[in-house]
Chain A
Amino acid sequence: MGTPVWAISLLIGGAFAQRLVADTLYLRFYSDAPLEKITAENTRGVYSFLDLATDSVFVRIKIRGFSFPNKLMEEHFNENYLESEKYPYAYFRGKLVAPVPYPTPGTYAVSAKGLLQIHGVAQERVLSGVFEIQPNGIVLLSGKAYVKPADHRIAIPRLLTQKIAETVEVTWWGRYKPAP
C-alpha cells in the first residue's frame, strides 16, 4: 500500500523537477495589409512553462502587454478587436508531439498540439518551433505561427480590411530555466 503512494509522489515530484519556466519571453505580432503594416511587441505579459515529464506546454499571454508604436491602434486593438477587458489573456495549452531529450544539449525541431485560445475562442492547433538545449540546462525556444482573427471571432469591419491582414503572423522567442 505504501509503495504506490511513494511512487506516485516521486513521479509528481519528479515531474515538477523537470518543469522549465520561461524567465524571458518575447512575442511579436505582425499584420501585413495592403495599406498598413502593423507591428506590436509583447515583452512584459507572457507566462509560460514546459513540463518535460508529461510533455505539456502552457503559455499565457496578457493582451494588454502588447505595445504598439501608435497608441490609438493599441487602444483599438484592446477595445474593439481583442476586447481585453472581457478576455484579458490568450492561452495555449498543449502537449509536445514527440518528447525532447532534455537535458542533452542540441537543437531540435519541436511541435506541440493543443488548444490556442484567443478572444475566448479555442482552436485546435499544432505549433512548431526550434528547441535549443544549452549545456547549462537553459532552453531557448523560438517559433512562428499564423493566426486568422476570423477563427477567433474577431470581426474586422469591411472598411478596414485594407488595413488589417486576414492572417496575422506571430513570432516568439523565449528562454526557459529549470524551476527551482
Chain B
Amino acid sequence: MDRRWLPAVISLTAILCAQPPEEKPEPVLATFKGTRLYNFHTTETAARGHLEFRVAHRFGDLTRGYATFWGLDAGAQVRLSLDYGVTDYLTVGLERSGVGRLYDAFVKVRLLRQKVPRGTPFSLTYYGAVFYSDLQDGARYPQAVHRFQYLHQLLAARKVSSRFSALAGIAWLHQNYALSWQAPNDYAFVPVIARFKLTKRLTLAAETALPLWENEPQEGRGLPDYRIPYAVVLEVETGGHVFQIGLSNAAGIAEPQTLLTQGYRLSLGFNISRIFSLYGDPSLGY
C-alpha cells in the first residue's frame, strides 16, 4: 500500500470507531392489549405499582333470538377482578364470579419476556389460582375442602409482527370435588389465542382451550355433552379503558366453568378494564 495514505486511513478508522453505541434489545410491548383475552389469561401482567380493575359481563343464550332479545333479557353474569403488579414480573389478583359464588386468588409470574429487535424469541408466564366456592348449598359440597379447585397454566406467546400475536400453553385444572360421580378430578388443556390488530385501536382475536383429557361419556367416564370452548373477541381501546366484546359458546364466567363447557349455547358478553398507576397518575389528578 502507498504509505502516503496511511495517516488518512488512521483518521478514518478513528472516526468509524466513534459510531453510536450498539442498540440494546428491549422487552416487547403489548403482545396483547390486556391481561386476559375474553375468558382466558394472556401472558401480559400488570406493571409494577399498577392496579387493574376489570368487570366482565356474560349474557344469556342468544340462539333463542328475539324471545330473550338475543340473551340480553336473561340478565348478565358478572365477574369482578382486581390485579396488582407487585413488580413488573409478579402480579397478584383477586376475583369474584357471580356464577357458583366463586372466589379466586391468583398469581402470575413472568418467566421470560420476548425481546426486540433480537434476543428471547417469546414470552413465558406462569399462572396459578385457587378457587373457592361459597355456594350456600350444603348438599352440593359435603365438606369444606370440596369447595376448592386449582388451576395452573404455563403460557407462551410471541408478538410475531406489530399486528399479529399468538399464544399457546398448557393448563391443568384440579377439582377437589368432581362435577359428577363419573367425572374426573383432573383435566388438562392447551389454551390457544390469536389476535390481529385491524387498526391501532381495534383488535380482532379468538381463543380456545383444546382438551388433553379423555372424554368417554358413552363408557360412563367424563363429561356428557362436553364442548370445546371458544370465543371471538373485538377489542376497542379508548385511551384509559379497554372494551372487549365477545361471542362465545362457553358456559359460566370463571375458568373452571368455561374450560368445562357442557351443552350448546352461544352468548354475547363484554369486559371492561381500567388501569390505575399508584405512583402518580395524571388521569387521577395527582
Contacts and interface: CB of A to CB of B under 8 A. Distances in A.
Nearest to B14: A16
A78 B8 CA distance: 42
B239 A159 contact: yes
A76 B277 CA distance: 14
Interface in B22-58: 23, 26, 29-30, 47, 50
A64 B5 CA distance: 42
Contact of A2 (B4, B50, B201, B238): B4
B11 A9 contact: yes
Contact of A70 (B29, B238, B283): B283
B8 A12 contact: yes
Interface in B267-284: 275, 277, 279-283
B21 interface: yes
A69 B280 contact: yes
B162 interface: yes
A8 B283 contact: no
A70 to B, nearest CB: 4
B20 A60 contact: yes
A5 B29 contact: no
Given A60-B20, A159-B238, A69 B282 contact: yes
A11 to B, nearest CB: 9
B88 to A, nearest CB: 8
A36 B282 contact: yes
A125 B41 CA distance: 47
Interface residues of B, number: 34
Interface string A74-116: 0110111001111010000000000000000000000000000
A61 to B, nearest CB: 11
A36 B239 CA distance: 12
B239 A163 contact: yes
Given A12-B15, A13-B11, A38-B282, A69 B277 contact: yes
A85 B116 contact: yes
Contact of B281 (A69, A80, A88): A69
A5 B8 contact: yes
Nearest to A85: B162
B274 to A, nearest CB: 9
Contact of B8 (A9, A47, A70, A160): A9
Interface string B227-240: 00000000001111
Contact of B12 (A12, A19, A37): A12
A179 B17 CA distance: 11
A84 B28 CA distance: 11
A71 interface: yes
A8 B240 contact: no
Nearest to A47: B20
A13 B29 contact: no
